[in-house]
């Protein structure tokens, strides 16, 4: 990607290199993410997508290169991610799972939870236990948990994995909607072209 003025970007990663036990997984990777855009990362299994996302979100701290998160207005951009996590409590309802996540984030406001459940289309399923959710509903619930803190940048690792065609269309519409209405910057990955 062409390197412009770094102030144009909400998230940049430059010259990222990551090895596991001498095995190089990422070799001089640079990405420049513009605010309000949607980016897709395509790569086969094991190509390092998850590793890159974990680096961008701070879950991996030992790597070479630099990651820098820009500002939105005056605050540092908030980054939320769904990368094999957050884990769900299967014996709790959708609402209770959201409540637990909200508690961790210091959000003590049920109206924010209800509003987010509505955003991800689960308002009518809030009392259903997570263990009874379909994969599509599970993905929506995880997305809802990631949206609770109103992120500026949303990172989703292989969100359509395992979804049926209707589920894929629904998730795409939801992401487009978040991008159009809230101006959310979205990074997503897939192994499916």
Ligand X SMILES: Nc1ncnc2c1ncn2[C@@H]1O[C@H](COP(=O)(O)OP(=O)(O)OP(=O)(O)O)[C@@H](O)[C@H]1O
Residues in the site for ligand X, rule: CB under 6 A?
20, 25, 43, 45-51, 191
Q: Which is nearer to ligand X, 52 or 88 (CB)?
A: 52
Q: In this structure, are residues 126 and 115 in contact, taking their beta carbons and an 8 Å threshold?
A: no
Q: Which is nearer to ligand X, 83 or 98 (CB)?
A: 83
Count of CB atoms within 10 A of residue 63's CB?
19
Q: Which is nearer to ligand X, 45 or 181 (CB)?
A: 45
Handedness of CA 63, 65, 70, 76 (dihedral sign): positive
- In whole angstroms, what is the distance from residue 136 CA to residue 160 CA? 8
Nearest approach in angstroms of CB 41 to ligand X is 9
- List residues bridging with 76 in a β-sheet: 71
**Which are the contacts of 47, defined by CB distance < 8 A and separation ≥ 6?**
none
Nearest approach in angstroms of CB 43 to ligand X is 5
Q: Which is nearer to ligand X, 115 or 191 (CB)?
A: 191
Residue 59: is it exposed, middle or buried by C-beta count within 10 angstroms (0-12/13-18/19+)?
middle
Q: Which is nearer to ligand X, 54 or 140 (CB)?
A: 54
Nearest approach in angstroms of CB 187 to ligand X is 13
Nearest approach in angstroms of CB 64 to ligand X is 15
- In whole angstroms, what is the distance from residue 86 CA to residue 145 CA? 7
Nearest approach in angstroms of CB 145 to ligand X is 20
Instruction: Retrieve residue 102's tokens.
Output: 């909200």
Q: Which is nearer to ligand X, 55 or 130 (CB)?
A: 55
- In whole angstroms, what is the distance from residue 145 CA to residue 151 CA? 11
Nearest approach in angstroms of CB 23 to ligand X is 7
CA dihedral 172, 186, 31, 59 (to 10 degrees): -110
């Amino acid at each position: 990607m062409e390197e412009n003025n770094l102030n144009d970007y909400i998230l940049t990663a430059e010259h990222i290199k990551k090895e596991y036990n001498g095995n190089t997984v990422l070799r001089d990777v640079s990405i420049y993410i513009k605010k309000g855009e949607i980016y897709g990362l395509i790569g086969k299994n094991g190509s390092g997508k998850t590793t890159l996302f974990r680096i961008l979100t701070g879950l991996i701290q030992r790597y070479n290169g630099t990651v820098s998160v820009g500002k939105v207005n005056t605050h540092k951009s908030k980054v939320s991610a769904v990368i094999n996590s957050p884990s769900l409590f299967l014996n709790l309802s959708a609402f209770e799972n959201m409540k637990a996540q909200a508690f961790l984030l210091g959000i003590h406001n049920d109206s924010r939870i209800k509003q987010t459940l509505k955003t991800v289309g689960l308002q009518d399923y809030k009392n259903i236990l997570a263990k009874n959710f379909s994969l599509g509903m599970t993905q929506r619930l995880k997305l809802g948990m990631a949206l609770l803190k109103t992120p500026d940048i949303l990172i989703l690792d292989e969100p359509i994995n395992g979804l049926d065609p209707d589920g894929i269309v629904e998730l795409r519409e939801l992401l487009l909607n978040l991008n159009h209405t809230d101006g959310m910057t979205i990074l997503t990955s897939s192994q499916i072209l």
